[in-house]
Amino acid sequence: MRKIKGTDEKVSKSGKGSKQSVTSSKKKVEVLMSKPTLHDLDKKVSVLTELVGRIETNHLEHIKKDIDKLDFRVWAILTGITVQLAATVLSFLF
């Protein structure tokens, strides 16, 4: 076993290959993901509620306007293609 400089960790090499196990003399952190309190959950829910409300009132209106513009442009392009196709067909017939 050898001690890593600047830490309280010790590295021990096993007899085979380059396998190493690191053991820490510090107390392991038992609570990596602790259960949130009711107050924490309430704060998170209120933030999410605010964000959803903002999206509903502001962003959805802008998205609707953009979709309406694109819808108009698609119909205009399709109308132009149809008129050109009709003009081409009529020029071959007459």
* Residue 16 located in a structural domain: no
Query: Which helix (DSSP H) or strand (DSSP E) does residue 42 occupy?
Result: helix 38-54
* Residue 15 located in a structural domain: no
For residue 61, give its domain range: 36-94
* Residue 45 located in a structural domain: yes
Per the structure, how many domains does the chain have? Answer: 1
Burial pattern 1-33, b for ≥16 Cβ within 10 A else e, equals: eeeeeeeeeeeeeeeeeeeeeeeeeeeeeeeee
Note the pTM of the prediction, 2 decimals: 0.43
* Residue 12 located in a structural domain: no
* Residue 78 located in a structural domain: yes
Q: Average pLDDT of 1-23?
A: 50
- Model confidence over 35-88: pLDDT tens digits? 878 888 999 999 999 999 888 888 888 889 999 999 999 999 999 999 999 999
> What six digits make up the tokens of 6?
């600047």
User: What is the residue whose two structure tokens read 């829910």?
Assistant: 45
* Residue 25 located in a structural domain: no
